[in-house]
Amino acid sequence: MAEKGKLKAKIIRVFETVAFDPEKGSYRAVDVRFEYPIGSGNYYDIVIPLEEYTPEEAERRVREWVQKYGSLMGKEL
């Protein structure tokens, strides 16, 4: 079992794509697909503009996503 406080996301796939933004139109991007929590079968995508993409940036954005939204997953309201 992972230590408490450790992120439990797994990057599954990274690929180039084309995205659309109403303000700037179509642009080339990198889609980072990850599973959270690991083993759940729930996959999420983060789209990063191609000129901003680095492997380190992808990891940073996945970590930020988990910190911001991860605590809501599975929460009963």
24 has pLDDT over 50: yes
Confidence of residue 4 (pLDDT cuts 50, 70, 90): low
Tell me the mean pLDDT in the region 2-15.
78
The structure tokens 């109403």 sit at 22
CA dihedral 70, 46, 63, 13 (to 10 degrees): 110
User: Percent of the chain having pLDDT more than 70?
Assistant: 91
Q: Give the integer Cα–Cα distance in Å for 20 and 57.
A: 20
Task: State the distance between the two ends of the chain, measured CA to CA, in whole angstroms.
Answer: 26
Residue 13 backbone zone (phi > 0: left; psi -120 to 50: alpha; other: beta): beta
The tens digit of pLDDT for each residue in 33-67 reads 999 999 989 999 999 999 999 999 999 999 999 99
Cis peptide upstream of residue 37 (ω within 30 degrees of 0): yes
